[in-house]
Amino acid sequence: MKIDNGIVRIGVIGVGNMGSEHCRNLYAGKCPEIALVSVADLRHERRQWAAKHLHGVKIYETGRELIQSKNCDAVIICVPHFTHESLTVEALEAGLHVLCEKPISVTASAARNMIQSAEKSGKTLAIMFNQRTNCLYRGIHHLLHSGEMGNIKRVNWIVTDWYRTQRYYESGSWRSTWAGEGGGVLLNQCPHQLDLLIWLCGMPQNVKAVCHEGKWHNIEVEDDVSVYFEFPGGATGVMVTSTGDLPGTNRLEIDCEKGKIVCEDGLVRCWRLRENEREICFSSDNPWYQAESTISVIKTDGLNLQHIGVMNSFAAHLLRDEPLTADAYDGFREIQLSNAIYLAGWTGEKITVPANEKEFIRRLEQKISISQRKEYKDYTYETNHEGTGALHQ
Amino acid sequence: MKIDNGIVRIGVIGVGNMGSEHCRNLYAGKCPEIALVSVADLRHERRQWAAKHLHGVKIYETGRELIQSKNCDAVIICVPHFTHESLTVEALEAGLHVLCEKPISVTASAARNMIQSAEKSGKTLAIMFNQRTNCLYRGIHHLLHSGEMGNIKRVNWIVTDWYRTQRYYESGSWRSTWAGEGGGVLLNQCPHQLDLLIWLCGMPQNVKAVCHEGKWHNIEVEDDVSVYFEFPGGATGVMVTSTGDLPGTNRLEIDCEKGKIVCEDGLVRCWRLRENEREICFSSDNPWYQAESTISVIKTDGLNLQHIGVMNSFAAHLLRDEPLTADAYDGFREIQLSNAIYLAGWTGEKITVPANEKEFIRRLEQKISISQRKEYKDYTYETNHEGTGALHQ
């Protein structure tokens, strides 16, 4: 165990959209093994929000002050992506464990630094991949890893239920700019699905992609992406994501040698073949063989604890060595894949995963150099689990 | 009207898999305005089949003999794709109307010759795009063209229900070779969906594609294809097709400004928004706007006449100027798109549609020059409408 006093004292750095949600959950006692002791935010109005809603919690202006205050065991980092690296490293070096919001960082290079810092310090670095807690994805993971379905042959994932209005992109001057955020739907919304794809199907070995920038919104980053994957075992995949489709779709199909799995509308359905298709193909004398498959809805435990589940497993890991929902290596692989998709989109080339990190950074810096920092008002929204939000101020 | 004696006397050239099905339908009287008068096939055993099953029908060895016999008004051409052009031109020049199996040809150049020949002769050239008769696609076509859904924004079509075993590819020495067939799933199975895509959504302006050759079967042509489309109006699309997935999927999703349409499992469902998303995006002050949409199953006439429907409309066109199911220009556009997808796959480049015809032919001829003509037995299968088949001989 890494903490032996039975409770994890936690500080939340950044109490904007996501950070404030974590604070509300912790303050409401939804994570009984975590005590929220401090928060930090650079913005005066967010500290005012904390003072009003989080009685007894220490409030700092900077993450550094919070880290150096020595009153917590761990921090949750909920600041714009570009500052994940420096705050995480600072916290780890100060002897704190870290739960970092997704994506772990903007570049794989930064993630590597963070991991090295975690390894050097011996402290835990976990990533907020809350969608791993969804019973549907856990059910698919279990099914695929049972071996019952045979090898994966194809993945199709339509993830177009990330709808955002123009107003969303105006909710922070850093948002949806190359300089402030470093990317769009791939970096902000889709890390969840990229992580799940790797978790469920393994790491692709190369990618092709088309990334449309500002296709549906007045933004400089991408809001519409089509990706083609190739996996080491020969499987291929397609993922389509956008923040411009209404009503969107979230439909994951995984085709295997012994059947297929479809996750849509809150259900996982499984088609099971009696035989392995790879054997049928070469043994059947029916040119138009039709499958006799049984279709069933996968039973799950029904649990979908999202951020609360990730925070609870973080605490359980620190207190009792239980497994994390997702660790730093998961975050690293996700951003490696993400970087490769960007590079594929920017170059039009097929890109091997992991991508050339220097080339990715060189091209990102080109984008940043011509990025127009916005002059929008800093709106902050109250987010709930469904992803809807009400204007907070 | 082009024929004034109340009935179309027809000859079927090629009575293999598809040609024999058309003969059975015609012989059984399923097309009351068509009289089957003659058939031709180069293979002795197929002429024997005709002699046994088609009493009173004249039997020729070559298409030329049938065409020159002067005993029919029109022909249905059901021979390997590469000979569509010469037989069609010969029939048109002999004053016959032509219904040609899909694809119209292997190259857009050949299709252009066929169209010029039709225009010069004043005779009708129709294409066997039998899936246009499906009430589901007709329902979608009606809905999209009513304007009710607004502009199309995205198309996702998973067409992996073209499963074929290795035995299928051994059912003809010409099959699944560059020299004999000129392509694989894109040219043989998927012309239907490419035609429907153009019919429903318009012609893409450019494409990217990955075409895997011999991925799931021992064949030299492609059996697994992922295509990315861009349409002139800004919509994008993805189509995935394969003959190696079991059980496959056929799911078409079309996202529009005012809702989405999903065709799967024999149903067309439609999500209708109250407002146009393009207006919501820039007028809503909710960053995470969620759609209030009504979902309904589209009512259709339930008819799905397939090949019989195409033949009946061909006769009705010749007898009473009624519209064809699909004409030569539809066939031409489909093969233009198909050629562009091949070129995109072969080069790894984004290809403008229509593609450079000379470049396509140059690369196809390279493939043909190293093609291995197979020494397989000529199996012929009885095909039924569901696409299943029983070994015939």
pLDDT value of residue A385? 37
CB B81 within 8 A of CB B106: yes
> pLDDT at residue A2 above 90?
no
ipTM score: 0.93
Task: Closest CB to A260: pick one of B247, B286, B379.
Answer: B247
How far, in whole angstroms, is CA B286 from its chain's centroid?
Answer: 45
pLDDT below 70 — which residues of chain B? 1, 373-393
Residues with Cβ within 8 Å of residue B297, at least 6 apart in sequence: B267, B268, B269, B270
Nearest CA in chain A to B258: A246
Give chain A's mean pLDDT: 94
CB A155 within 8 A of CB A234: no
The Cβ of residue A95 has, within 10 Å, a number of other Cβ atoms equal to 12
Q: Beta strand A351-352 with B267-273: parallel, antiparallel or unpaired? A: unpaired
> pLDDT at residue A363 above 70?
yes
CB A206 within 8 A of CB A160: no
Write the pLDDT tens digit of every residue in A53-80: 999 999 999 999 999 999 999 999 999 9
**Measured distance CA(B90)–CA(A98) in Å, rounded:** 77
Best residue in B152, B253, B288, B378 to probe A by mutation, most A CBs within 10 Å? B288
Establish if B285 touches chain A: CB-CB under 8 angstroms.
yes
pLDDT value of residue A292? 84
Phi, psi of B147 (to 5 degrees): 85, -10
Q: Inter-chain contact B245–A208, Cβ cutoff 8 Å?
A: no
Q: Inter-chain contact B246–A273, Cβ cutoff 8 Å?
A: yes
> pLDDT at residue A295 above 80?
yes
Write the pLDDT tens digit of every residue in A118-164: 999 999 999 999 999 999 999 999 999 999 999 999 999 999 999 99
Establish if A139 touches chain B: CB-CB under 8 angstroms.
no
**Measured distance CA(A8)–CA(A36) in Å, rounded:** 8
> B229: closest CA among B217, B238, B218, B220?
B238
Q: Inter-chain contact B284–A208, Cβ cutoff 8 Å?
A: no
pLDDT value of residue B377? 57
Q: What is the mean pLDDT of residues A358-387?
A: 74
Q: Beta strand B250-256 with B152-159: parallel, antiparallel or unpaired? A: antiparallel
Give chain B's mean pLDDT: 94
Write the pLDDT tens digit of every residue in A206-222: 999 999 999 999 999 99
In chain A, which among 95-114 make CB contacts under 8 A with chain B?
A: none
pLDDT value of residue A4? 82
Partners of B254 on chain A (C-beta within 8 Å) are none
Residues with Cβ within 8 Å of residue A219, at least 6 apart in sequence: A169, A176, A177, A184, A213
Write the pLDDT tens digit of every residue in A307-348: 999 999 999 999 999 999 999 999 999 999 999 999 999 999
Q: Inter-chain contact A228–B210, Cβ cutoff 8 Å?
A: yes
Burial A216-247 (b: 16+ CB within 10 A, else e): bbebbbbbbbbbbbbbeeebbbbbbbbbbbbb
Establish if B281 touches chain A: CB-CB under 8 angstroms.
yes
Looking at this protein, which amino acid is placed at residue B135? C
> pLDDT at residue A389 above 50?
no
pLDDT value of residue A52? 97
Q: Is A202 helix (H, G, I), strand (E, B) or coil?
A: coil
Partners of A240 on chain B (C-beta within 8 Å) are 154, 156, 238
Q: Inter-chain contact A288–B389, Cβ cutoff 8 Å?
A: yes
Q: Inter-chain contact B286–A388, Cβ cutoff 8 Å?
A: yes
HEC sequence for chain B = CCCCCCCEEEEEECCCHHHHHHHHHHHCCCCCCEEEEEEECCCHHHHHHHHHHCCCCEEECCHHHHHHCCCCCEEEECCCHHHHHHHHHHHHHCCCEEEEECCCCCCHHHHHHHHHHHHHHCCCEEEECHHHHEHHHHHHHHHHHCCCCCCEEEEEEEECCCCCCHHHHCCCCCCCCCCCCCCCHHHHCCHHHHHHHHHHHCCCCEEEEEEEECCCCCCCCEEEEEEEEECCCCCEEEEEEECCCCCCCEEEEEEECCEEEEEECCEEEEEEECCCHHHHHHHCCCCCCCCCEEEEECCCCCCECHHHHHHHHHHHHHHHCCCCCCEHHHHHHHHHHHHHHHHHHHHCCCEECCCCHHHHHHHHHHHHHCCCCCCCCCCCEEECCCCCEEECC
CB A127 within 8 A of CB A100: yes
Nearest CA in chain A to B384: A288
Q: Beta strand B206-213 with B351-352: parallel, antiparallel or unpaired? A: antiparallel
Best residue in A246, A270, A341, A349 to probe B by mutation, most B CBs within 10 Å? A246
Which is higher by pLDDT, A28 or B388?
A28
